[in-house]
């Protein structure tokens, strides 16, 4: 199981939790599991999210491997100017 | 040979200040910008815009316009496709209003005619019946329960129940126990701030030339930060398959984020389709102000607690951003960036994106961060003043560093903030004496950066020269930087490489030139493409020598035999291998396609000295120094240019620039005479100090540098002016009347 940290305003959409445990070995599995377990997160995930893995931010990269040793943080989809 | 490491090395080309490849074209007028292309039989397109801030469109009668001599087509929203996705539907409704005009300047209809005068006359002949609606242009007013509703039902699932219908999304970030943190503070300050909407101020107005034949094949030439993005948007809005629309980016006269979307291109395509002729549209400066994408304006509250010795115990920011008449995604980046420079046990940021009757905001370098960090850094500075503490020492005491839990969630890896602050502290500027009515301001800044989708093709020519083909418009010197990275990797001279930016049908998809991504991501792909070409050249040399390819290495621009069984062969240079490539297997090229991650965040520190005229309220910039971590500066001139340009744009944002709306909801200063950007005579030399803390995610250590530099100036200026004027400023711009008023009330 990996721990995924959510940003604060997602807490109410994930049954009040800031950190959720997910059975996943890559980003795609992680996002699929989040949508499955917390359907209220689905609109945000479909609009786009980034994921931070041990401090490195990824915008897509479904098949990036993850494990319980990693720090994983869900973030808004990164944009720039 | 193996070529997959990010090994440290001594550079030969990287770090040099080579000549820019576009310099002569630009100073001689040879460079072709968006408005410079013409086509046989070309028509002039012109857009009718709403004179009202908010109005229902009851009817549009185009019959009189269509009957006029020279008029070949008139289009309205009904001539565009119906995208299913909200993102594209909003752009469609912005480029041609559907049922409501949502802001002063909102496009309502467009004509194509044989001359500019005929097009102007036709625009005047279009009859639009409006039903006026109440409007709102201020973010705080728009958040009130009884505010005029700009668009109904646009809130997403994050918006708390009971919010104004104009709130479209809500964000919250942070960690720790705020109450306990504030209880540990010796002093707590809570302040409110406002910043005005500003425009990127690019020199070149939006311009395009569109052709769309009856066979359904289109050609579009335009000034943009991303031709592939234009293709995607126009395909959706005009109902054209992507491969049938070839988009070519012109030279670009500035973008800064403002050319990352479309305002006129789908309209030109619709007119071209309807008229059967090529159509050119060039925005006037007034149109650019009224109807392109300025930045958000903001309202914010910041509360920070600090101990007597300068340790921040808790911090909170509430940010309210208006992004115009369509939902925007900007406050979340302000909310994430607000406290990124600090190592905090208790921090919280809350953010609301809000609709108003203003043009749809567009990105502007580090979108959302400058106004949030302005508010935070202003309160930190005021606390330092109150507690008698050195503002730089306080930043160092609280600075985020490797291992810090960032206020937006992750734990930082190697970051350059402390090194940047220490460089500022050691610089002569920080200790230089100040005179009467003078003040020194300091601010940290932060931006995320990203990589993104990128394709590069690198072609070896018979004469030993190299062509690099990439798909990102050059807005900050990237052609030079990309050529330098190719030359470095191949071991040849910079003058032997030419980089060109190609159209959408000649290379795979590339994300927009934004996010400070190009030198990082296109550079990374170029290095990998060069390595692919090197592998092939080693193979060709091995064939010629009759040895295994593994026994060949690439050094100093040549293949060399290596190892005990390689034999004794003279090195073959790239030019020698290229000269016989027809005989050794044909053309040699390398290519690389990647969705690059690992861009690495960036920090900067700005120091500025100002002098305030107590009689006029005018502010003079006396000295300005920018310190920024570039990871590795590929071409230092361009890195310095980014740092200086960000500082100058920030100076304008802080001192003079603002969108001014009247009671009628109409923009009152849609031109550079009344919207005051800094000019050269307003500015001292902007000094720069480049720090190089390598980014492990790039072969040469590159970090993006294009955006971070616009983040600190707002607060640095506000802190300097507040200290010079002896009155704390809480609103931008600090224009002379506003500063004079504040000084008179102190």
Write out the DSSP string of B623-691. Answer: EEEEEEE-SS-SSHHHHHHHHHHHHHHHHHHHHT----B-TTS-BS--STTTS----GGG---EEEEEE
For residue A56, give how far its alpha carbon lies from the nearest alpha carbon of chain B (Å): 6
- Does residue B440 sit in the same domain as residue B546? no
Q: Average pLDDT over chain A, rounded to whole?
A: 96
Distance CA B722, CA B720 (A): 5
Of A9, A52, A58, the CB nearest to B158: A9
Q: Average pLDDT over chain B, rounded to whole?
A: 97
pLDDT over 70 (residue B100)? yes
Q: B334 in a domain, yes or no?
A: no
- A55·B412 Cβ contact <8 A: yes
- Does residue B646 sit in the same domain as residue B738? yes
- Residue B210 — pLDDT band, cuts 50, 70, 90? very high
Of B158, B172, B367, the CB nearest to A79: B367
Of B156, B172, B515, the CB nearest to A7: B172
Give which of B85, B158, B340, B366 to mutate to test A binding, by max A Cβ within 10 Å. Answer: B158
Selection from B362, B707, B341 nearest residue B515 by Cα: B707
- A79·B333 Cβ contact <8 A: yes
Distance CA B627, CA B294 (A): 27
- What are the backbone dihedrals phi and psi of residue B482, each rounded to the nearest 5 degrees, phi first? -70, -45
Q: What is the pLDDT of residues B391-435, one digit of tens each?
A: 999 999 999 999 999 999 999 998 999 999 999 999 999 999 999
The pLDDT, as a whole number, for residue B5 is: 59
Containing B169, the helix (H) or strand (E) segment is: strand B167-175
Ranges assigned E (strand) in B396-435: none
Distance CA B386, CA B363 (A): 36
Q: B309 in a domain, yes or no?
A: no
**Residue B78 belongs to a domain with what CATH number?**
3.90.1170.50
Task: Using the 3D structure, point to which of B291, B311, B345 is the last residue of a domain.
Answer: B291
Q: What is the pLDDT of residues B87-99, one digit of tens each?
A: 999 999 999 999 9
Distance CA B666, CA B651 (A): 26
pLDDT over 90 (residue B370)? yes
- Does residue B516 sit in the same domain as residue B609? no
For residue A53, give how far its alpha carbon lies from the nearest alpha carbon of chain B (Å): 8
The pLDDT, as a whole number, for residue B565 is: 83
- A76·B450 Cβ contact <8 A: no
- Does residue B481 sit in the same domain as residue B418? no
Percent of chain B at pLDDT > 70 equals: 99
Task: Using the 3D structure, point to which of B291, B310, B331 is the last residue of a domain.
Answer: B291
- A79·B449 Cβ contact <8 A: no
Containing B362, the helix (H) or strand (E) segment is: none
Chain-centre distance of CA B297, in angstroms? 17
Strand partners for A75: A50
Q: B8 in a domain, yes or no?
A: no
Q: What is the pLDDT of residues B296-337, one digit of tens each?
A: 999 999 999 999 999 999 999 999 999 999 999 999 999 999
- Residue B564 — pLDDT band, cuts 50, 70, 90? confident
Nearest CA in chain B to A57: B598
Question: Which residues span the domain enclosing B434?
Answer: 413-449+600-746
Q: What is the pLDDT of residues B693-732, one digit of tens each?
A: 999 999 999 999 999 999 999 999 999 999 999 999 999 9
- Does residue B476 sit in the same domain as residue B436? no
Residue pairs spanning A and B at CB distance below 8 A: 104
The pLDDT, as a whole number, for residue B213 is: 87
Cβ–Cβ contact A46 with B under 8 A? no
- Residue B611 — pLDDT band, cuts 50, 70, 90? very high
- A56·B257 Cβ contact <8 A: no
- B residues 645-704 closer than 8 Å to A (CB): 697
Selection from B572, B569, B516 nearest residue B255 by Cα: B516
Strand partners for B279: B43, B210
The pLDDT, as a whole number, for residue B606 is: 98
Q: What is the pLDDT of residues B460-497, one digit of tens each?
A: 999 999 999 999 999 999 999 999 999 999 999 999 99
Of A9, A59, A75, the CB nearest to B409: A75
Length in residues, chain B: 746
Q: Where are the domains of chain A?
A: 2-76
Nearest CA in chain B to A18: B175
Nearest CA in chain B to A10: B158
**Residue B435 belongs to a domain with what CATH number?**
3.30.365.10
- Does residue B50 sit in the same domain as residue B100? yes
Are B266 and B551 within 8 A, CB to CB?
no
- Residue B551 is given by DSSP the state G
Nearest CA in chain A to B406: A55
Q: What is the pLDDT of residues B435-465, one digit of tens each?
A: 999 999 999 999 999 999 999 999 999 999 9
Give me B242's structure tokens.
């992507």
Can you spell out the DSSP letters for B307-326? -TTS-EEEEEEEEEEE--SS
- Does residue B206 sit in the same domain as residue B71? yes
Cβ–Cβ contact B158 with A under 8 A? yes
Task: Using the 3D structure, point to which of B568, B596, B624 is the last residue of a domain.
Answer: B596
- B448·A73 Cβ contact <8 A: no
DSSP three-state, residue B549: helix
pLDDT over 80 (residue B3)? no
- Does residue B548 sit in the same domain as residue B609? no
Are B181 and B205 within 8 A, CB to CB?
no
Residue listed under structure tokens 């009152």: B668
Number of domains into which chain B is organized: 3
- Does residue B742 sit in the same domain as residue B619? yes
For residue A54, give how far its alpha carbon lies from the nearest alpha carbon of chain B (Å): 7
For residue A77, give how far its alpha carbon lies from the nearest alpha carbon of chain B (Å): 9
Is the four-CA dihedral B556, B559, B561, B562 of positive or negative sign? positive
The pLDDT, as a whole number, for residue B7 is: 58
Q: B264 in a domain, yes or no?
A: yes
- Residue B20 is given by DSSP the state P
Q: B382 in a domain, yes or no?
A: no
Selection from B325, B258, B263, B254 nearest residue B291 by Cα: B263
Containing B692, the helix (H) or strand (E) segment is: none
- Does residue B523 sit in the same domain as residue B591? yes
> Which residues does chain B have within 8 Å of residue A58's beta carbon, measured at their own beta carbons?
597
Q: B60 in a domain, yes or no?
A: yes
> Which residues does chain A have within 8 Å of residue B364's beta carbon, measured at their own beta carbons?
81
The pLDDT, as a whole number, for residue A25 is: 97
Cβ–Cβ contact A43 with B under 8 A? yes
- Does residue B431 sit in the same domain as residue B554? no
The pLDDT, as a whole number, for residue B53 is: 98
Cβ–Cβ contact B174 with A under 8 A? yes
Query: Domain A2-76 carries which CATH code?
Result: 3.10.20.30
- A58·B516 Cβ contact <8 A: no
> Which residues does chain A have within 8 Å of residue B598's beta carbon, measured at their own beta carbons?
56
Q: B406 in a domain, yes or no?
A: no
Cβ–Cβ contact A78 with B under 8 A? yes
Distances (CA, A) of B196 to B138, B179, B381: 10, 32, 21
> Which residues does chain A have within 8 Å of residue B170's beta carbon, measured at their own beta carbons?
9
- Does residue B631 sit in the same domain as residue B682? yes
- A9·B598 Cβ contact <8 A: no
- Residue B746 — pLDDT band, cuts 50, 70, 90? confident
DSSP three-state, residue B596: strand
The pLDDT, as a whole number, for residue B9 is: 73
Give which of B362, B409, B448 to mutate to test A binding, by max A Cβ within 10 Å. Answer: B409
């Amino acid at each position: 199981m990996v721990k995924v940290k959510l940003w604060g305003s997602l807490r109410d959409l994930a049954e009040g939790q800031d950190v959720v445990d997910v059975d996943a070995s890559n980003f795609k599995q992680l996002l699929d599991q989040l949508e499955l377990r917390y359907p209220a997160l689905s609109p945000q995930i479909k609009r786009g999210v980034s994921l931070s893995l041990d401090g490195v931010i990824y915008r897509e990269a479904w098949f990036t491997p993850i494990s319980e040793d990693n720090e994983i943080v869900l973030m808004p989809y990164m944009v720039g100017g | 040979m193996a070529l997959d490491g990010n090994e440290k090395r001594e550079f030969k080309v990287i770090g040099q200040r080579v000549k820019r490849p576009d310099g002569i074209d630009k100073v001689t007028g040879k460079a072709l910008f968006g408005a410079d292309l013409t086509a046989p039989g070309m028509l002039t397109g012109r857009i009718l815009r709403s004179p009202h801030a908010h109005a229902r469109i009851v009817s549009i009668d185009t019959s009189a316009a269509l009957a006029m001599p020279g008029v070949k087509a008139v289009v309205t929203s009904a001539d565009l496709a119906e995208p299913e996705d909200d993102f594209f539907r909003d752009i469609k409704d912005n480029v041609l209003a559907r049922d409501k005009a949502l802001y002063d300047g909102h496009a309502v209809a467009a004509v194509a005619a044989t001359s500019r005068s005929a097009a102007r006359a036709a625009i005047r002949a279009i009859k639009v019946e409006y039903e006026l609606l109440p409007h709102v242009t201020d973010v705080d007013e728009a958040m009130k329960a009884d505010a005029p509703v700009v668009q109904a039902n646009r809130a997403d699932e994050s918006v708390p129940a009971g919010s104004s219908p104009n709130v479209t999304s809500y964000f919250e970030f942070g960690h720790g126990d705020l109450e306990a943190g504030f209880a540990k503070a010796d002093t707590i300050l809570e302040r409110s701030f406002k910043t005005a909407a500003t425009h990127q101020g690019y020199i070149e107005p939006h311009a395009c030339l569109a052709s769309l034949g009856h066979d359904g094949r289109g050609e579009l030439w335009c000034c943009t930060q991303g031709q592939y993005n234009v293709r995607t948007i126009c395909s959706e809005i005009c109902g054209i398959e992507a491969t049938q629309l070839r988009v070519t980016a012109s030279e670009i006269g500035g973008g800064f984020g403002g050319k990352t979307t479309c305002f006129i291109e789908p309209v030109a395509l619709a007119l071209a389709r309807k008229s059967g002729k090529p159509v050119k549209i060039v925005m006037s400066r007034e149109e650019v102000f009224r109807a392109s994408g300025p930045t958000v304006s903001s309202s914010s509250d910041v509360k920070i607690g600090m101990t007597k010795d300068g340790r921040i115990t808790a911090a909170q920011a509430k940010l309210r951003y208006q992004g115009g008449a369509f939902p925007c995604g900007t406050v979340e980046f302000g909310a994430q960036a607000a406290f990124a420079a600090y190592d905090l046990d208790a921090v919280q940021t809350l953010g609301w994106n809000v609709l108003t009757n203003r043009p749809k905001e567009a990105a502007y370098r580090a979108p959302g961060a400058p106004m949030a960090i302005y508010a935070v850094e202003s309160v930190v500075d005021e606390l330092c003043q109150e507690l008698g503490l050195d503002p730089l020492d306080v930043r160092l005491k609280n600075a985020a560093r490797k291992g810090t839990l960032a206020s937006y969630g992750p734990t930082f890896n190697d970051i350059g903030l402390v090194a940047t602050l220490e460089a500022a502290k050691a610089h002569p500027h920080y200790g230089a004496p100040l005179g009467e009515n003078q003040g020194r301001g300091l601010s940290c800044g932060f931006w995320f950066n990203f990589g993104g989708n990128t394709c590069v093709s690198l072609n070896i020519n018979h004469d030993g020269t190299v062509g690099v083909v990439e798909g990102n418009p050059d807005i900050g010197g990237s052609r030079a930087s990309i050529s330098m990275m190719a030359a470095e990797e191949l071991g040849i001279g910079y003058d032997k490489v030419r980089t060109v930016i190609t159209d959408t049908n000649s290379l795979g998809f590339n994300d927009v030139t934004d996010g400070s991504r190009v030198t990082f991501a296109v550079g990374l792909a170029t290095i990998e493409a060069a390595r692919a070409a090197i592998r092939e050249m080693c193979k060709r040399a091995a064939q010629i020598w009759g040895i295994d390819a593994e026994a060949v290495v690439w050094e100093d621009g040549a293949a060399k035999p290596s190892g005990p069984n390689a034999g004794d062969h003279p090195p073959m240079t790239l030019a020698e291998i290229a000269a016989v490539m027809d005989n050794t297997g044909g053309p040699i090229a390398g290519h690389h396609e990647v969705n690059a991650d690992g861009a690495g965040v960036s920090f900067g520190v700005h120091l500025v000295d100002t002098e305030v005229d107590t009689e006029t309220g005018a502010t003079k910039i006396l000295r300005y120094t920018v310190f920024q971590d570039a990871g590795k500066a590929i071409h230092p001139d361009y890195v310095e240019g980014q740092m200086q340009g960000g500082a100058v744009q920030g100076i304008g944002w802080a001192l003079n620039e603002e969108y001014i709306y009247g009671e009628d909801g109409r923009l009152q200063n849609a031109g550079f005479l009344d919207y005051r950007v800094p000019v050269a005579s307003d500015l001292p030399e902007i000094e720069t100090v480049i720090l190089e803390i390598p980014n492990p995610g790039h072969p040469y250590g590159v970090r993006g540098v294009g955006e971070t530099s616009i983040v600190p100036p707002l607060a640095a200026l506000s802190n300097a002016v507040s200290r010079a004027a002896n009155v704390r400023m809480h609103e931008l711009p600090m224009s002379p009347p506003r500063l004079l008023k504040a000084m008179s009330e102190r």
